Structure 1
């Protein structure tokens, strides 16, 4: 089903999110990469006056490793996504995140964006807390110091502040109906004969649950649904149902469905979905305004050092992202 693919992509994208500014999937900048040999020993990249170091990549590698293993299990690294290994995919996410934060800090400098008093005070607290979560061997191997971690938290906090400042006045109204999350059961068949037989059984009084399990061959038969996750015909039929109602047969791209509404409004999840939609719109608008600026800056990327940076260098008890969210969200 279309929703399965979209939901998987949404989960994976969410794992890469830090203060909503890191979902960015566009080109790094309009002029492409510009390679240079003028790097310091541990510099991964330069963007304008901004510099990013290998220990920052290692910390973010640890974050995505922890997040993916928590969701998909430790064998996730033997799988593929979009024709590439999960590690390659995760490394690309980290690369994109580091580049975006560097660009945002460069623009923040030009716009005079600074942290407020509370945010500034939280930098050292966050750095101390995170450093305590990194095992001694990892910290020693990378030479991690309180000052380095403070600098990293500062970069991410300033990027978040810039994002909030640039999206503060956007109009992002979302209707409750558009954000509505519903729970449905469905029967899915690949032929008219099979779906008609299912309809006959339902009309004869058989339980939707038992018919769905039978026709769906023991596969999925119940799900939460948000707008945009399924094809138009399926979505319209589902959202037109009240709790307890069952649709007629729905034809959709060569498959046939009968849908039963279990709940026509999961209120708590609807509110959360409304917030997600608002943040997605803010991010889309931010990217439109930011891409022109990105196109004006050359990016110097140290591929040689990047390729040497180990995906498994840092062992942490708590993710950098979790500590960041605690103090800056």
Structure 2
């Protein structure tokens, strides 16, 4: 293929463009492998502009491997609050503890050992190794697969996990061994800013090497089969306040969706019962009053919650598994985005009432 025959020319065009045009991102101002690890975990399934403030707060709170290793899980989840995919940060903390305990706080510099760490998959391993340590290793994410699909007219379905190997092998064939950090980041940057789902080919620094562009097929690649239809779950949520002005909450189980996060009573709707009846039947608490609060949808990768939330008052004590918390305590608890939406609406409602 033409690209492989002109590897040196391709690398030069790609890296020259990257060094000139790259976005100024905080994790690009450091070669600290721990910071780069944190950024790569945050960037999985999350937009760059969303990640920046989270990254800066997280590094300020846990500036070293040792700081994160000894931190309380609840404090770590609180710093991740709103980013979603909370298992990512749990695995990150577990992996960091392994580095501190087994490797003397030195992140391994080879794929075999770094890949043994909790939560470190092929992409994260390659990104940390190449960016932080200058090791010529592949770091293949969705952006990279899209770029390479077009450059080389690769028509294998990128949604099929085993096909990732094809792209990893291509990267290892093309990678610049003198500057693997810039090469890998350049591929990612190209996919994020130019070779997007709707490509901006006229701005592309490696357009001359692109088979798809020359054949006018760039918008047909990559091949990606559609996900199975997501499940929609209707939920009723209750922000229940007692006579002392405290809020009823519980912690989710330590495994599964939104593990260990705190929430108001949230009950799946399966019939036509009234909201107050749903609450009494499911957790055994009677209400003094109930009023509509907010309705919204929250989209996960594999399902959608359709939430109908209510503000309710009760004189009852906390049922088994629940506790009442002051507003200050609720603020301090780690909460997932759906609960944050309810809590923010409660604050607005209370502010408007006082106003």
The alignment's TM-score, normalised by the length of structure 2, stands at 0.27
Kindly indicate whether structure 1 or structure 2 has the higher relative contact order, using CA contacts under 8 Å at least 6 residues apart. Answer: 1
Q: Which has the higher helix share?
A: 1
The alignment's TM-score, normalised by the length of structure 1, stands at 0.29
